[in-house]
Amino acid sequence: MASILSHLMKSDGTAVKRRKFTEGTLRHNLYKKARETLHEGMNLKQASHLDRFKFQGVKLPPDETFNDWLAVHVVDFFNRIQVLYGVVADVCTEASCPIMSGGSQYEYFWLDGQEFKKPTALSAPEYHLRLFQWVEKQIFDESIFPPDTDSDFPKNFKKTCQKILNRMFRVFVHVYIHHFDRLMEINAEPHGNTLFKHFYYFVTEFQLMDEKAFAPLALLIDKICNDP
């Protein structure tokens, strides 16, 4: 059985590029805190419905700024969602997924304002490739994601992150609707569910996504996030 870690490699054998914060900086410490509280708060079955929206791994720590907290989570989600897609990349092909969709009701078009100035239909693998490249370009841009507290975040930082998070949510939609069997095959469902719950609790805690965007995965959300 293939190891999930093997999917950290792209199909051409190169490593997935992951953004890291410099050790010892505020944002590196915040990143560590986010990961630690995530694991401490994972026993959700003993939490009430209300408590789930106060999931320990997403709440803003006292005396920390929202933009710093947002930055470390966007980077963390980017790193982990790439791995999630890597799990199904070998079965998400031009032939199997000629359009980027979430079932028969939802199709996503690519628009980046540069190469694609109008919404354009792409295959799922090409869409994911362009999505990850688009996010990567932004989170490695130090004028958008400053490496330390000596530099300020841009004024539109929250809006930029909202757009990134909304688009990364589409990876969950495609993976869960079209490739759930692959997650089951390599026992990756628990890892995917943990990541999805963390993502969902974070974006709802800070109202970073429109409720309508969740519609394709409403049943999943009801099953693993909102169950009493």
Instruction: Give the residue among 76, 119, 92 at the shortest CA–CA distance from 173.
Output: 92
Q: What is the pLDDT of residue 150?
A: 75
97 labelled binding-site residue = yes
Q: What is the pLDDT of residue 22?
A: 57
Q: What is the pLDDT of residues 85-112, one digit of tens each?
A: 999 999 999 999 999 999 999 999 999 9
Distance of CA 181 to the CA centre of its chain: 20
pLDDT of residue 202 exceeding 90: yes
Q: State the residue for tokens 């354009």.
A: 120
179 labelled binding-site residue = yes
CA angle in degrees (0–180, nearest 5) for 177-39-190: 25
Q: What is the pLDDT of residue 32?
A: 53
3-state SS record for 138-156: HHCCCCCCCCCCCCCCCCC
Q: What is the pLDDT of residues 148-198, one digit of tens each?
A: 777 899 999 999 999 999 999 999 999 999 999 999 999 999 999 999 999
How does DSSP assign 99-163, residue by residue? S-BSSSS-B-EE--SSS--S-EE--HHHHHHHHHHHHHHHHT-TTTS-SSTTSPPPTTHHHHHHH
Distance from first CA to last CA of the chain, Å, rounded?
A: 34
Q: What is the pLDDT of residue 113?
A: 92
- Tell me, what DSSP letter sits at residue 15? B
User: What torsion, rounded to 10 degrees, do the Cα atoms 103, 198, 58, 110 define?
Assistant: -40
Q: All domains of the chain, ordered by start, with CATH?
A: 55-224 (1.20.140.30)
What's the predicted TM-score (pTM) here? 0.80
Instruction: Give the residue among 174, 199, 30 at the shortest CA–CA distance from 102.
Output: 174
Q: What is the pLDDT of residue 63?
A: 81
174 labelled binding-site residue = yes
CA distances from 73 to 21, 57, 176, 200 (A): 12, 10, 21, 12
Question: What is the C-alpha to C-alpha distance for residues 194 and 44, in angstroms, rounded to an integer?
Answer: 10
73 labelled binding-site residue = no
